[in-house]
Amino acid sequence: MDWGIVPGETVVIKSKNITLRDIVQAIVDGADTVPAIKESFGLTDNDEGVSDLGDILDVFVPAIEALRGGGCGGCGGGCAGCHGHC
């Protein structure tokens, strides 16, 4: 699944009604590993959808880190939003 285009209200962990939006918020709040996400929500490996967490983290952790860093990656080129003024 391409988690980058999935709507935020998509339920990822059905047994606990945890949405993609909930997981992304947990990432923003600092839970940026599978164990940290599992701990945040009280999940076990047996919860349906836990196997998707790694793929979700692969999409959203780099995006959130880029935003925290100004979104330009240091303006090493290709930063259309900065127009060379970073």
Percent of the chain with pLDDT over 70: 81
Give the Cβ contact number of residue 17 at 10 Å. Answer: 9
Q: Is the pLDDT of residue 30 over 80?
A: yes
Largest Cα span, the chain: 49
What's the number of domains the chain is made of? Answer: 1
Structure tokens at 71: 């979104």
d(CA 10, CA 13): 9
| pTM of the entire predicted model | 0.79
> What integer pLDDT is reported at residue 76 of this predicted model?
53
Nearest of 59, 62, 15 to residue 38 by alpha carbon: 15
Q: Is the pLDDT of residue 80 over 60?
A: no
Q: Is the pLDDT of residue 13 over 90?
A: yes
Average confidence score pLDDT of the chain: 88
DSSP 66: H
The residue segments making up the domain with residue 7 are: 1-86
